[in-house]
Protein backbone atom coordinates (compact mmCIF):
# COMPACT_ATOMS: atom_id res chain seq x y z
CA UNK A 1 0.00 0.00 0.00
CA UNK A 2 1.38 3.43 -0.97
CA UNK A 3 1.95 6.12 1.65
CA UNK A 4 -0.98 8.10 0.24
CA UNK A 5 -3.29 5.10 0.36
CA UNK A 6 -2.13 4.26 3.88
CA UNK A 7 -2.82 7.82 5.07
CA UNK A 8 -6.26 7.73 3.50
CA UNK A 9 -7.02 4.44 5.22
CA UNK A 10 -6.00 5.93 8.57
CA UNK A 11 -8.25 8.93 7.89
CA UNK A 12 -11.11 6.55 7.21
CA UNK A 13 -10.52 4.69 10.47
CA UNK A 14 -10.38 7.96 12.41
CA UNK A 15 -13.61 9.10 10.78
CA UNK A 16 -15.32 5.86 11.70
CA UNK A 17 -14.28 6.32 15.33
CA UNK A 18 -15.79 9.80 15.28
CA UNK A 19 -19.05 8.47 13.81
CA UNK A 20 -19.24 5.96 16.67
CA UNK A 21 -20.09 8.99 18.84
CA UNK A 22 -23.27 9.67 16.85
CA UNK A 23 -26.48 8.46 18.50
CA UNK A 24 -30.08 8.22 17.24
CA UNK A 25 -31.97 11.48 17.66
CA UNK A 26 -28.92 13.69 17.20
CA UNK A 27 -28.49 16.76 15.04
CA UNK A 28 -25.04 16.30 13.46
CA UNK A 29 -22.84 18.97 11.88
CA UNK A 30 -21.26 17.69 8.66
CA UNK A 31 -17.81 19.15 8.07
CA UNK A 32 -15.62 19.75 5.04
CA UNK A 33 -12.43 18.10 3.83
CA UNK A 34 -10.71 14.90 2.84
CA UNK A 35 -11.06 13.40 6.33
CA UNK A 36 -14.56 14.65 7.14
CA UNK A 37 -15.90 13.17 3.90
CA UNK A 38 -15.13 9.71 5.24
CA UNK A 39 -17.37 10.45 8.22
CA UNK A 40 -20.21 11.61 5.98
CA UNK A 41 -19.95 8.45 3.87
CA UNK A 42 -19.90 6.31 7.01
CA UNK A 43 -23.04 8.01 8.33
CA UNK A 44 -24.73 7.43 4.98
CA UNK A 45 -23.77 3.75 5.00
CA UNK A 46 -25.05 3.25 8.56
CA UNK A 47 -28.34 4.93 7.72
CA UNK A 48 -28.73 2.78 4.61
CA UNK A 49 -28.10 -0.42 6.57
CA UNK A 50 -30.44 0.58 9.40
CA UNK A 51 -27.66 0.55 12.00
CA UNK A 52 -28.22 4.28 12.55
CA UNK A 53 -31.52 6.12 12.41
CA UNK A 54 -33.36 9.27 13.37
CA UNK A 55 -30.54 11.76 12.78
CA UNK A 56 -30.40 14.92 10.73
CA UNK A 57 -27.33 16.70 9.39
CA UNK A 58 -26.35 20.34 9.07
CA UNK A 59 -23.86 20.67 6.18
CA UNK A 60 -20.99 23.18 6.36
CA UNK A 61 -20.76 23.73 2.59
CA UNK A 62 -22.89 23.43 -0.52
CA UNK A 63 -20.76 20.57 -1.85
CA UNK A 64 -21.21 18.75 1.47
CA UNK A 65 -24.95 19.25 1.18
CA UNK A 66 -24.91 17.71 -2.30
CA UNK A 67 -22.92 14.67 -1.12
CA UNK A 68 -25.12 14.18 1.95
CA UNK A 69 -28.27 14.26 -0.16
CA UNK A 70 -26.72 11.76 -2.57
CA UNK A 71 -26.04 9.45 0.37
CA UNK A 72 -29.58 9.77 1.72
CA UNK A 73 -28.71 11.72 4.88
CA UNK A 74 -31.70 13.83 6.04
CA UNK A 75 -30.72 17.49 6.32
CA UNK A 76 -31.89 20.51 8.24
CA UNK A 77 -30.68 24.07 8.80
CA UNK A 78 -29.80 26.15 11.84
CA UNK A 79 -33.15 27.89 11.48
CA UNK A 80 -34.85 24.74 12.77
CA UNK A 81 -32.89 23.04 15.62
CA UNK A 82 -31.95 25.06 18.68
CA UNK A 83 -28.51 23.50 18.70
CA UNK A 84 -26.29 20.87 17.13
CA UNK A 85 -25.45 17.89 19.31
CA UNK A 86 -22.22 16.87 17.60
CA UNK A 87 -20.16 18.17 14.69
CA UNK A 88 -17.52 16.11 12.90
CA UNK A 89 -15.05 18.23 10.96
CA UNK A 90 -11.43 18.42 9.88
CA UNK A 91 -8.71 21.04 10.38
CA UNK A 92 -5.65 22.34 8.56
CA UNK A 93 -3.51 22.75 11.69
CA UNK A 94 -3.97 21.84 15.36
CA UNK A 95 -1.91 23.01 18.33
CA UNK A 96 -1.46 21.19 21.68
CA UNK A 97 -4.35 23.20 23.21
CA UNK A 98 -6.68 21.98 20.40
CA UNK A 99 -6.82 25.42 18.83
CA UNK A 100 -7.29 25.14 15.07
CA UNK A 101 -6.68 26.79 11.75
CA UNK A 102 -9.46 26.00 9.29
CA UNK A 103 -10.50 27.31 5.91
CA UNK A 104 -8.28 25.49 3.47
CA UNK A 105 -11.47 24.08 2.00
CA UNK A 106 -12.96 27.58 1.61
CA UNK A 107 -15.84 26.92 4.04
CA UNK A 108 -14.57 28.57 7.23
CA UNK A 109 -17.55 30.89 7.74
CA UNK A 110 -20.15 28.14 7.74
CA UNK A 111 -17.82 25.83 9.64
CA UNK A 112 -17.42 28.37 12.43
CA UNK A 113 -21.15 29.08 12.62
CA UNK A 114 -21.80 25.36 12.94
CA UNK A 115 -18.97 24.89 15.46
CA UNK A 116 -20.27 27.69 17.67
CA UNK A 117 -23.74 26.10 17.58
CA UNK A 118 -22.45 22.64 18.60
CA UNK A 119 -22.39 21.06 22.03
CA UNK A 120 -19.45 18.90 20.92
CA UNK A 121 -16.94 19.68 18.17
CA UNK A 122 -15.06 16.55 17.10
CA UNK A 123 -12.04 17.23 14.88
CA UNK A 124 -10.48 14.41 12.86
CA UNK A 125 -7.03 14.84 11.31
CA UNK A 126 -3.98 12.89 10.26
CA UNK A 127 -0.89 13.46 12.39
CA UNK A 128 0.71 15.73 9.76
CA UNK A 129 -1.77 18.43 10.84
CA UNK A 130 -0.39 18.56 14.41
CA UNK A 131 1.77 21.58 15.15
CA UNK A 132 3.58 23.05 18.16
CA UNK A 133 2.22 26.51 17.30
CA UNK A 134 -0.48 27.65 14.90
CA UNK A 135 0.87 29.33 11.80
CA UNK A 136 3.93 27.09 11.69
CA UNK A 137 2.57 24.83 8.97
CA UNK A 138 -0.45 26.61 7.55
CA UNK A 139 -1.64 30.08 6.64
CA UNK A 140 -4.65 31.80 8.21
CA UNK A 141 -7.52 32.10 5.71
CA UNK A 142 -9.51 35.32 6.09
CA UNK A 143 -12.87 35.72 4.35
CA UNK A 144 -13.52 39.28 3.15
CA UNK A 145 -16.24 41.04 1.16
CA UNK A 146 -15.17 41.68 -2.43
CA UNK A 147 -15.59 45.45 -2.07
CA UNK A 148 -12.29 46.88 -0.87
CA UNK A 149 -10.61 43.50 -0.52
CA UNK A 150 -7.21 44.93 -1.44
CA UNK A 151 -7.53 47.43 1.41
CA UNK A 152 -8.02 44.51 3.80
CA UNK A 153 -5.02 42.75 2.29
CA UNK A 154 -2.81 45.80 2.80
CA UNK A 155 -4.02 46.21 6.39
CA UNK A 156 -3.39 42.55 7.25
CA UNK A 157 0.12 42.97 5.85
CA UNK A 158 0.73 45.59 8.58
CA UNK A 159 -0.04 42.86 11.14
CA UNK A 160 2.97 40.91 9.87
CA UNK A 161 1.49 38.59 7.25
CA UNK A 162 2.29 37.88 3.63
CA UNK A 163 -1.16 38.03 2.03
CA UNK A 164 -2.38 36.39 -1.16
CA UNK A 165 -5.83 36.44 -2.72
CA UNK A 166 -6.94 32.86 -3.24
CA UNK A 167 -7.67 32.22 -6.90
CA UNK A 168 -9.22 29.52 -9.03
CA UNK A 169 -7.29 27.57 -11.63
CA UNK A 170 -8.23 30.11 -14.30
CA UNK A 171 -6.82 32.98 -12.22
CA UNK A 172 -10.18 34.43 -11.19
CA UNK A 173 -10.76 35.05 -7.48
CA UNK A 174 -12.19 32.04 -5.66
CA UNK A 175 -15.73 32.80 -4.51
CA UNK A 176 -16.98 31.26 -1.25
CA UNK A 177 -20.49 29.87 -0.78
CA UNK A 178 -21.40 33.25 0.72
CA UNK A 179 -20.09 35.16 -2.29
CA UNK A 180 -16.92 36.46 -0.63
CA UNK A 181 -13.18 36.36 -1.33
CA UNK A 182 -10.49 34.56 0.68
CA UNK A 183 -7.16 36.06 1.68
CA UNK A 184 -4.52 33.47 2.60
CA UNK A 185 -2.39 35.15 5.27
CA UNK A 186 1.03 33.68 6.02
CA UNK A 187 1.96 34.93 9.50
CA UNK A 188 4.43 32.22 10.44
CA UNK A 189 4.20 30.94 14.05
CA UNK A 190 1.61 33.08 15.87
CA UNK A 191 2.60 34.07 19.41
CA UNK A 192 -0.68 35.70 20.48
CA UNK A 193 -3.65 33.96 18.91
CA UNK A 194 -6.29 35.78 20.93
CA UNK A 195 -5.03 39.25 20.02
CA UNK A 196 -4.81 38.40 16.32
CA UNK A 197 -8.31 36.91 16.38
CA UNK A 198 -9.71 40.11 17.91
CA UNK A 199 -7.84 42.35 15.49
CA UNK A 200 -9.23 40.46 12.51
CA UNK A 201 -12.75 40.26 13.93
CA UNK A 202 -13.22 44.00 14.45
CA UNK A 203 -12.01 45.07 11.01
CA UNK A 204 -14.79 46.28 8.68
CA UNK A 205 -14.81 44.19 5.51
CA UNK A 206 -13.47 41.08 7.25
CA UNK A 207 -16.32 38.58 7.41
CA UNK A 208 -14.54 35.84 9.36
CA UNK A 209 -11.10 34.32 9.97
CA UNK A 210 -9.79 30.79 10.17
CA UNK A 211 -8.62 30.83 13.79
CA UNK A 212 -10.89 28.46 15.71
CA UNK A 213 -9.88 29.03 19.32
CA UNK A 214 -11.29 26.99 22.18
CA UNK A 215 -13.97 25.33 20.02
CA UNK A 216 -12.75 21.75 19.65
CA UNK A 217 -13.83 19.37 22.41
CA UNK A 218 -12.37 16.22 20.88
CA UNK A 219 -9.44 15.48 18.59
CA UNK A 220 -9.15 12.15 16.79
CA UNK A 221 -5.72 11.71 15.20
CA UNK A 222 -4.82 9.13 12.58
CA UNK A 223 -1.12 8.31 12.74
CA UNK A 224 1.45 5.64 12.02
CA UNK A 225 0.82 4.14 15.45
CA UNK A 226 -2.95 4.00 14.99
CA UNK A 227 -5.82 6.18 16.17
CA UNK A 228 -5.69 8.50 19.18
CA UNK A 229 -8.69 10.20 20.77
CA UNK A 230 -7.83 13.31 22.80
CA UNK A 231 -10.53 15.08 24.80
CA UNK A 232 -10.27 18.62 26.10
In this structure, are residues 203 and 152 in contact, taking their beta carbons and an 8 Å threshold? Answer: yes
d(CA 10, CA 6): 6
d(CA 107, CA 169): 18
Helices (H), the chain: 3-19, 36-49, 62-70, 108-116, 149-158, 193-201
Which residue in the list 16, 65, 111, 121 is annotated as catalytic? Answer: 111
Q: CA dihedral defined by 221, 85, 214, 93, rounded to 10 degrees?
A: 30
Please say if 111 is a catalytic residue: yes
Residues recognised as catalytic: 111
Amino acid sequence: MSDTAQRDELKRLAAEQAVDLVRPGMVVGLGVGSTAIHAIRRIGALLASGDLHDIVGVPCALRVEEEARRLGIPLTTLEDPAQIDLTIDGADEVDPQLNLIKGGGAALLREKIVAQSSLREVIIVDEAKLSPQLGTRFFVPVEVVPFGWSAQARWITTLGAEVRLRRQADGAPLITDQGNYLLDCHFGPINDLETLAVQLSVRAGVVEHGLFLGMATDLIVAGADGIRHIQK
